[in-house]
Amino acid sequence: MVPTWAIVLDYIMGMIMWTLIGRAFMNIFQREDSTFFFMRVFVKYTNPIIKLFKPITPSFLFGGFIALYVAWFFYLFRFYAMPYLLGYDVWGMLAFPLESDFSKQLYQLFN
């Protein structure tokens, strides 16, 4: 049984990771200083995280690639460190609590 704090931590990190990925893909269609509501929300909530990772972000990255680079660190932590620290196996993307619960809800919605 996975402890509740670990599930909450994974949910938080998963939401951060997916928000960073969303920002990267929104950046394909919108500039970061866009007045579009969703882009402003993505930028507002992900800028502090991107600034936190600035010391280890390569200077040749630009735009949406920076957000993807930072999201990659959250993915790595969720996929490798969390299972190692908690002692459970990972069998693909649906082993993450956030994605697993989301896919179960989608399955129930469409079946």
Q: Decide: 24 and 44 in contact? Cβ < 8 Å.
A: no
- pLDDT score for 82: 80
Residue 53 token pair: 């990772």
Domain residues for the domain of 82 are 4-110
The count of structural domains within the chain is 1
- pLDDT score for 100: 78
Residue 44 token pair: 């507002």
Longest dimension (CA), the chain: 47
- pLDDT score for 70: 96
- pLDDT score for 45: 92
**pLDDT tens-digit profile of 31-89?**
888 899 989 998 999 999 999 999 999 999 988 899 999 999 999 888 878 877 776 66
Q: Decide: 64 and 24 in contact? Cβ < 8 Å.
A: yes
